[in-house]
Structure 1
Amino acid sequence: MRIVADTTRCVGAGQCVLTDPEVFDQSDEDGTVVVLVERPDDLEKVREAVHICPSQALSLVED
């Protein structure tokens, strides 16, 4: 599984970073999501971040 982030939908709320700071960060320019690890081993926190994203800018897709 890999993470897909739609930065055009991202509102920069930062909930993903708070949920899993090892996988997500925010752009210094506009605060949008930056995926640090596209294919993380542990998906528990990633699934939570996808679920709570207020703009639904994150998704998990099968490779």
Structure 2
Amino acid sequence: AAPTLTAREIQVLEGMSHGRSNAEIGRELFLSEDTVKTHARRLFKKLGASDRAHAVALGFRWGLVR
């Protein structure tokens, strides 16, 4: 079963899937870059991902991002 991510974590993961930086994701979502980093750390842990590319690949595999 896919891990349960918050709506915000999914938005951050979607931004990553489009190749956006933490700063770019933050500007889109009206969050600080540090807040984006916190969401990223949490979603990496939930997904068991080692880095952004791994997180995005797992997100696609589990249908969390399109």
TM-score computed with the length of structure 2 as normaliser: 0.31
Q: Which has the higher contact order (CA 8 A, sep 6+)?
A: 1
TM-score computed with the length of structure 1 as normaliser: 0.32
Q: From the two aligned structures, give the one with the greater strand fraction.
A: 1
Q: From the two aligned structures, give the one with the greater helix fraction.
A: 2
